[in-house]
Structure 1
Amino acid sequence: MMEEFLSDKIKRIKPSGIRKFFEIANELDDVISLGVGEPDFDTPWHVRDEGIYSLQQGKTFYTANAGLMELRQEICQYIERKQEVHYDPKSEVVVTIGGSEAIDIALRAMLNPGDEVIYTEPCYVSYLPCIVLSDGVPVAIPLKASNQFRLTAQELEEAITPKTKVVILSFPNNPTGAVMSRKDLEAISEVIKRHNLVVISDEIYSELTYSEERHVSIVEIDGMRERTVLINGFSKAFAMTGWRMGYALAPHILMQQMIKIHQFTIMAAPTTSQYAGIDALRNCDEDVSEMRESYNQRRRYLLKEMERLGLPCFEPFGAFYIFPNISEFGMTSEEFASRLIQEERVAVVPGNAFGDCGEGFVRISYAYSLSSLKKALERLERFIVRLRQEQEDTK
């Protein structure tokens, strides 16, 4: 009965490949899940306490559509402290329901039917559906492990057409952990400015970088602040996934339109979360530093284990994922992940969930305790030894 009433556009969108394996893991016993990108740390207690205190004080009413002014001021001060770029808290920032809503309203505020949006793959699973839902035309640039999954100016130049309007960047990257240096960003910025394009820069993992060079935002590059929507949030850096809060910063004329969509679809982000967010931005530097060091320890451990197991894996310097190559086993990424969870009760995400060029890879999250990672690696080793033995037996 209802089939005839469904949107053709929605029916064509595939469900998330991440959630598929998350649901399988929930149905099985004794599964070690290395699939979901969620910190295993609790939200710092002082942040939770601020949320609780706001409830005790009866601060349970709607805030301004764009968010509490005090929070917007803290966001702008945070960005100025980290990136040395100034934004006006009154007119250039909106507090959203996670970073995903910020991506959605930015695209909807800019796209007309037929406008092309360039994005890189492998990438976060929401970009392609959000472009389609906004009536844009997705144009994927497949990145290469041989170049550490970085975007080059030449690759960007070759993808641009007269219909190109927006470029989505996501560094540090999910799922690869790739980062872009200042030199990399300067090169692609020249292309973007020459073709008069707009950038959506998703920097949700900006605090989780492990190289000697600090995270560089594209808004720091000359001429890019005025043509960029900068997206960030609280989920990854502050271990606040369930609080559902992100934010976007953009020039006033664009932000007006983004807030218009936000006010009609969301109204405002949760009040309790916003008060907690104020404390996170003010007082979490030490907490973030401790979490980052723990992630880095796990990152180094997994890279050594991949080398020991003979799985090719470039060294990621951001986020909390590694992206090893499993193509030697002659099966698809989905087949590898399916057999691994069924035979050894370890959940990873097949690389093709993040785009076609992710085929031959799997994403392993290290947002889990070192003890869980060690137990999972024991099971992964058994699985790999068995696969290699199967290959020998068939020769």
Structure 2
Amino acid sequence: MTEEFHRIRRLPPYVFAEVNKAKAAARAAGEDIIDLGMGNPDSPTPPHIVAKLVETVADPRSHRYSTSKGIPGLRKALAGYYARRFGVKLDPETEVVATIGSKEGLANLASAITSPGDTILVPNPSYPIHQFGFIIAGASVRSIPAEPGEEMLRALDRAVRHSVPKPTALIVNFPSNPTAFVADLDFYKEIVAFCRREGIWILSDLAYCEIYFGDTPPPSILQVEGAKEIAVEFTSMSKTYSMAGWRMGFAAGNPHLISALTRIKSYLDYGAFTPIQVAAVTALNGPQDCVADIRALYKERRDVLLRGLSAAGWDVPAPDGSMFAWAPIPPKYAHLGSVEFSKLLLANAGVAVAPGLGFGEHGDGFVRIGLVENTQRLRQATRNIRAFLTGRQNSPGADTDTGASLEKAS
């Protein structure tokens, strides 16, 4: 009776726990910690969305059980968004289901379509639910490169030829969490052609599609001709409208997959609270200036962070999308790995980041830095990091050498 349950045994220790424990201890000791570790939007939800929630929650009828697949108006609003944004036509009845955040949708679809021992192809590194949703469901996961391009395509071909059993599903996520990679439509065309030929389902996570910094908005895989024969796509209100805690997302695409997700959800939940769904309709159908404002905010923060890190001597590639920077560990500290480097950064600079190991073993040479603080705090964070990397105290203007700490860390 003391042994761990079967599904729990398949889950490794939570990689972020060590950093979170150190962060909590530092804050309990009164230290000012700048937390860039979690992708938790700090901007308020736009006022017109909040106003609709307040208006709806005042109606006692809205407090009853809702609809697991989402109220009709919400599914129609998501279909309207796809038509405007991507030129993709969706049937709200058969090709759209509302989810309690995209994470819940991904996990429940994994449960719905997975048989024990199935092989699933997942980028490494990637957002944890992409692999662990399937691992919990009893599948085996085969890692593929995370960056869109020829290397990923070659890995898919090898996986089909050498995996037993043959892979049944592929996860893609662009703009990516944590790597911030962005894919173009031509790449999606190659992926769709390959998976149609091999009979592989595609689950596309498009949660960051409105957080981009170039001139061309990221595409949807459903824009590819024939994609709906094999693909379903997950989107979320969390980042686009700063509604992370509201837990509102969607799955759209292949009717067979949508039906499977709808059916399993009908046994598990009654859907999101109705006022949240009504407010989400307002978000999707209402003015979209707020989306552009949120995008501009993240771009400004990205630029401030990268300038500050560059001045600190830390060369970090500029992300083209998402709300993260995927930062290679500085060469001097690369031997430590991402967990120990994250703890060192917390202790010496008062800055919390997410260790790349938490997103897969191929992420261990990186840390993920979230653009989740205002520009003043980001400047403070980069000053602290610069003081740490150059061997000086964190306090502004201090010249005292702290080389001993660096020597110990090295």
**TM-score bracket for this pair, using the shorter chain length:** over 0.9
1:109, distance to aligned residue in structure 2 (A): 1.9
CA distance in 2, matches of 1:155, 1:389: 44
Per-residue deviation, 1:21: 3.1
For residues 25 and 385 of structure 1, the distance between their equivalents in structure 2, rounded to whole angstroms, comes to 23
Consecutive unaligned residues of structure 1, counting only runs of 5 or more, are: none
How far residue 80 of structure 1 moved from its aligned partner, in angstroms, is: 1.3
| Structure 2 residue aligned with 1:333 | 338
CA offset digits 1:319-370 (Å, max 9, x no partner): 0111111151231111110111122221001111111111111110112210
Q: Distance in 2 between matches of 1:150 and 1:173?
A: 17
Q: What secondary structure is seen at the aligned counterpart in 2 of 1:17?
A: coil
What whole-Å deviation, never above 9, does each CA across 1:80-125 have from its counterpart, x for those lacking one? Answer: 1111111111122111111111101221221111111101011112
Cα deviation for residue 237 of structure 1 reads: 0.6
Paired position in structure 2 for 1:82 = 85
**So what's the TM-score if we normalise by structure 1?**
0.93
- Specify every segment of 5 or more residues in structure 2 that has no aligned partner in the other structure, as ranges: 393-401
Is the contact made by 2:145 and 2:152 (CA closer than 8 Å) also made in structure 1?
Answer: no
Query: Which stretch has the larger CA shift, 6-15 or 232-241?
Result: 6-15
Q: Write the distance in 1 (CA, Å) between the matches of 2:404 and 2:323.
A: 32
**SS of residue paired to 1:295:** helix
Q: Deviations over 1:198-228 (max 9, x none)?
A: 1000000011011122111111112112211
Q: Deviations over 1:65-92 (max 9, x none)?
A: 2111011100111111111111111122
1:373 aligns with 2:371: no
Match of 2:10 in 1: 12
**2:354 aligned to which of 349, 353, 362:** 349
Equivalent-residue separation in structure 2 for 1:204 and 1:151 (angstroms): 24
Q: Within 1, Cα distance between the matches of 2:243 and 2:264?
A: 24
* Bigger mean CA offset, 367-376 vs 10-19: 10-19
What is the Cα deviation at residue 314 of structure 1?
Answer: 2.3
Q: What's 1:67 paired with?
A: 70
For residues 293-326 of structure 1, the C-alpha deviation after alignment (integer angstroms, 9 at most, x for no partner) is 0111111222223333332322211101111111
Partner secondary structure for residue 164 of structure 1: coil
Residue 157 (structure 1) aligns with: 157
Counterparts of 1:199-278 in structure 2 under 5 Å? 199-278=202-281
Where does residue 57 of structure 2 map in the other structure? 55
1:19 and 1:288, CA in 2 relative to 1: closer, same or farther beyond 3 A?
farther
Relative distance call for 1:13 and 1:86 in structure 2 (3 A) is: same
**The one of 189, 206, 212 aligned to 2:192:** 189
Partner in structure 2 of residue 178 of structure 1: 181
Identify if the C-alpha distance between structure 1 residues 116 and 196 changes in structure 2 by more than 3 Å, giving closer, same or farther.
Answer: same
SS at match of 1:307: helix
Counterpart in the other structure of 1:3: 2
Task: State the percentage of identical aligned residues.
Answer: 28
Deviation at 1:393, TM superposition (A): 6.3
Match of 1:324 among 323, 327, 339: 327
Q: Does 1:106 align with 2:105?
A: no
Alignment partners' CA distance in 1, 2:155 and 2:21: 36
How big is the alpha-carbon RMSD for the aligned residues of Structure 1 and Structure 2? Answer: 2.2
| CA deviation after TM superposition for structure 1 residue 26, in Å | 3.3
Inter-partner Cα distance in structure 2 for 1:101 and 1:20: 25
Q: Measure the CA separation in 2 of the matches of 1:69 and 1:20.
A: 44
The count of aligned residue pairs is: 390
- The residue number in structure 1 matching 2:37 is 35
Residues 41, 338 of structure 1: CA spacing in aligned structure 2 closer, same or farther, 3 A cutoff?
A: same
Among residues 41, 44, 47, which one is paired with 2:46 in the alignment? 44
More moved, 321-330 vs 97-106: 321-330
